[in-house]
Each structure stands twice: as C-alpha cells, then as structure tokens.
Structure 1
Amino acid sequence: MHRIDTPTAQKDKFGAGKNGFTRGNPQTGTPATDLDDDYFDMLQEELAGVVEATGVNLDKSKHNQLLTALKALLLSRAHPFADIKADGTAAIAEALSNLGLVGGLASDAVGRLIGVKIITASTTYAATPGTKKVLAIITGGGGAGGSCSATTTGSTFSGAGGGGGGTCIGLLNLADATNKAITIGAGGAAELAGGSTTFAGMAAGGGGGGGYTSVTSTPGGTSGTATGGIMNIPGGHGGDGQSGAYLISGMGGGSLWGTGGRSGQNAGISSIVYGAGGGGAYDTGFSGTKRNGGNGAPGVAVILEFA
C-alpha cells in the first residue's frame, strides 16, 4: 500500500513523507492532485484482498463485502472470546489446542476429575489416559492397641490405644507421579507400630503401638508423622491405658479418615478406618490370661486424577 505519489500530490501534507491530496488553486497556479492507474490499482487490490482472504469471491451486486470480511477475520472487541464460542466446537477445540490444553465441551472439559483410585496394596502408579495433574492423599498404617495380663489391680489390666497414621496431601504433575512406586503401610498388630505409606517423595508414617509396659505406665501409641506433601497431617495419639489402679480409655488414635478402635473387655477392638489405631484390651475379670489389643488399620493412597 502507498500514499498518493503523483507529481501533483501535496507533499508532506500529513507529516514528513506523508503526501495528501489538494483540490488546487487556480489563483496561485497550484494544480489539483492527479490520480493515476497505479494508485487506483493499489486501492482496488488492497480492498479486494481483504474480501478474498475469507474465501469469498467479489460480487458487484453486494456493497457490504468488505465489512462482512472484516467481521469474519477479526474478533469483536467488546467480547473477544465470545466469538470463539460462537464459531462452534471446532473453533473451541482449536483454540484450546493452540494453548496446549485439551477438551472444551462438558464431556471433555479441561481440569475436570477423570479418575479416582483407592489403593490399599503396594503397587506402581499408572495414570488414567488424559491425566495432567494428580492430587494424592496418602496415610500410614495405624498402630496396634496394647495388650494386658492381670490377676489383680496390682498388675497391668488395661492396655493403651495405638496411634493413628500420619497423612500427606500432594499436588503433582503427571511426570512426577506416573510409574512411581506406592508403598502401603500395614496396620500394626501385637502392640507394634503401623507401617509407613510412601509415594512420589511423600512419607506418611505409621502410628505407634499402644503401651503394655507396667502397672504405672501404659502410654498411648504415638502419632504418625507426615513429610513431603503440600499439607502434612500427623495422626492422633492413642489413649493411655492403665495408670496405677485406674483404667483409662485405651482408645485408638484417629487418622484423617476417622477415629480408631475402642478399648474392649478381653480384646481391644481393631480399627476399621484407614490408618487409625487399634483399641487397647482390658481385663476386669483378672483372669491372668494375656488379652491382645486390637489391630491398627492399614494405610491407603487415594489418587484424584485431573485432565
């Protein structure tokens, strides 16, 4: 495109090098600006090129082809992204693809939840196709409740509760999660601590086993630790058991998923909640038989997968 450049153009009318037109002035001998074929050809092809860029042929009977072409080629300024939606599903898909995204329809929307995996046995994580981000919640195993063995109040007749497993919550890119090992911590048994659950740099420790040490000291199991997540939540402590002649709760410590098993006559109650501790055993009949505490529940990994 160029400005008028015939010999009779008004030089620098709109600034240096920006010629314009003049109607001329016979009194001063200034001629009107001449128009030549070069200038009109330029105008014609500039305007026709805009229309033809939309794939439309020029039509002598239509006087709105330039305006129609501009609307087709340009986004509206008031609502620029509404134009993409108005162009339909193909335009939406192409726009998202250009941005490195996927989807765009209700059945294929970016950021939607596409999978939930509840993992209770050690494995290697394999992502659902289309996964871009993973929200992982892992919990260690609960500790076992403490045992007891008593013939009188002068012996240990009330075991403590096991501690609850810790929990890690992590938001991971697919590359940091896929094909990574998931280790599920076992629930504690026979007064032992629960095992740790690990995944992608996170470690959710198991709860400690309930105490069965002496008449004056049956401490509850310690809480499971948690490291490596964007949120790290320790488990609950197990309730203490006997202290001298007093029988205490012996309740199993809770985890993120709920409370632990309660204490029980002749046998502690095993936990049924992921990562929670088992209840301690008590024996008010003083049978002299060892009564076992309840088992802690195993850990878990819950994987939420997002497109």
Structure 2
Amino acid sequence: MQGGVADSATGRLIGCKVITSSGVYTPSTAAKFIIAELQGAGAGGDGVGTHAATGSMSIGASGGGGGYGKFLITALAASYAITIGAGGTGGVASTSSNVTTPGSNGGDTKLGSVATATGGNNSSAGLSGVSAIAGLAIVAGRSPGGTASGTGLILALRGGNSGYRLGLTTYAGLSGPGGDSHFGNGGQEALSQVDSTSQAGSAGDGYGAGGSGAISSGTGAGAVGGKGSDGLVIIWEFA
C-alpha cells in the first residue's frame, strides 16, 4: 500500500464502535487490542413544591456530571457485557408547600467487569422555604460528579460538580447549572426574577451531563427537575 498504512501493520486502527444502549460487545476477529472510552450518566435535578404565600422560595439542587475513563485493554475476552448508565430522573413537581423533591443519581457505565465510569450524584439537599434578606445571598453546596476505575486505565476525568444555588431576595434566585461531562453540558439553571413564579429544571445535553434543579417563589406552582443525560461507550479497535 502506498501513501498509507500497510494492511499488515501492527497497531493500525481497524474500527470504531459508538454504543448508546446496553448489550453485548464482541471484538472483531482481527482486533488485537482496544481503547475503550466510558462515560457515566448525569444525575437529575431536584423538583420543588407549591408555595402557599409570598416571602419565601424553594430552590432544587442540580445534578453532577458522570465520570469519564479511557482504558487500554490488551488481553481481549471473547465478548463483554455493556451497561450504559441511565440518566438520573428529575424530582417531581410536588403539591406540598415549601419542599424539594430529590432527583436521582446517574447510572454507572460498565465494560463487563473490566472498566467502570460512575454516574454523577445528587447528594446536596435543596433549599426549602428560605427567606433571603435583600442584599445578602443564601448559598448552598454542590452535587459531586462521578469517577472512573478499572483495568488499563489511561485517563480518568471526574464529572463536573453542579453549580451553587443562591437566593438574593425573597423571590429572586437561581438553582445553578447541572454538572458538565466530557461529552455534554449540564442543564441551564432555573431562575426566578418575579415573585410567585416557578421554573422547571433543564435536562443535561449530550452524554453524561447533569440536569438542573427547579425553583419556585411566593405562590408559584410546583416544578420538575431536569433529567441527567445517559452514558456512552466508544470502542476503538486496533490490529
């Protein structure tokens, strides 16, 4: 072969598989080793409940992004069970006053028992029924991202933490964005600028990004949290 890589050359790329649903991966007959990229799923954001009176606000926590791992696997098995982590669900819109409803963690993405990228977390409690003093801010913690581990780990990137939530007045505040991932951006923060309003959280985009939390102020209605986006596996085959 002229101007390229000979068909008999060792280490040449012979295929790429993008896997977005759980199943079984069987390496190609000619594959001698693979590089596998795993992305865990993003966590969902909190939902919020209905408010019964002005002067307070509920702000849902946003979800963290899923972890990412790149793995070099030289001793190939005949096949591998693939698990694609499911994006965490957003918390429901509650009819109870002054409450937040938790979103769920993102699912882990796995290549058999060899490699794992864990999903993002929603482990930071939302703010319920808070009353901020004008000019000051109530700031709450962030939900952490996932990690990666396994055989032949080349690179591990922690998923992005969710953004801080804050309230500026009795009706103005924001939930903070969901955590980013290697393959996606977290859901945009929910915002309240006018008393007695509510806004749902936004879903994470791409793969492995966290959803944002919802917000409600005054006599605003309940609102749902944003969903985290699902995980992903990419496999590069080499001869």
TM over 0.5: yes
Q: Which amino acid aligns with 2:225?
A: G
User: How many angstroms apart in 1 are the aligned matches of 2:234 and 2:27?
Assistant: 13
User: How many angstroms apart in 2 are the aligned matches of 1:208 and 1:144?
Assistant: 8
User: How many angstroms apart in 2 are the aligned matches of 1:112 and 1:288?
Assistant: 59
Offset at 1:283?
Answer: 3.2
Answer whether contact 2:180 2:210 (CA < 8 A) is retained.
yes
Answer whether contact 1:149 1:155 (CA < 8 A) is retained.
no
Q: Which amino acid aligns with 2:14?
A: I
1:279 aligns with 2:212: yes
The C-alpha deviation readout for 1:25-61, integer Å capped at 9, x for no partner, is xxxxxxxxxxxxxxxxxxxxxxxxxxxxxxxxxxxxx
Q: Which amino acid aligns with 1:272?
A: D
1:123 aligns with 2:23: yes
Counterpart of 1:255 in structure 2 is 181
1:195 aligns with 2:107: yes
User: Which protein has the bigger strand share?
Assistant: 2
Q: Percent identity?
A: 38
Answer whether contact 1:159 1:242 (CA < 8 A) is retained.
no
Counterpart of 1:300 in structure 2 is 232
Q: Which amino acid aligns with 1:202?
A: A
Counterpart of 1:212 in structure 2 is 126
Q: Which amino acid aligns with 1:298?
A: D
Counterpart of 2:61 in structure 1 is 160
Offset at 1:174?
Answer: 4.7
Secondary structure at the aligned position of 2:36 is classed as strand
Structure 1 153/115 Cα, relative in aligned 2: closer, same or farther at 3 Å? farther
Residue correspondences, number: 202
Counterpart of 2:94 in structure 1 is none
Matching of residues 32-43 of structure 1 within 5 Å = none
User: How many angstroms apart in 2 are the aligned matches of 1:208 and 1:233?
Assistant: 15
Structure 1 287/302 Cα, relative in aligned 2: closer, same or farther at 3 Å? farther
> Greater RCO between the two (CA within 8 Å, min separation 6)?
2
User: How many angstroms apart in 1 are the aligned matches of 2:220 and 2:190?
Assistant: 16
Structure 1 289/194 Cα, relative in aligned 2: closer, same or farther at 3 Å? same
Counterpart of 1:235 in structure 2 is 159
Offset at 1:180?
Answer: 1.8
Secondary structure at the aligned position of 2:144 is classed as coil
Offset at 1:164?
Answer: 0.2
Counterpart of 2:95 in structure 1 is none
Q: List runs of 5+ in structure 2 lacking aligned partners.
A: 92-102, 131-137, 192-198
Matching of residues 96-107 of structure 1 within 5 Å = 106-107=6-7
Structure 1 137/153 Cα, relative in aligned 2: closer, same or farther at 3 Å? farther
Bigger Cα Rg: 1
TM-score (norm 2): 0.75
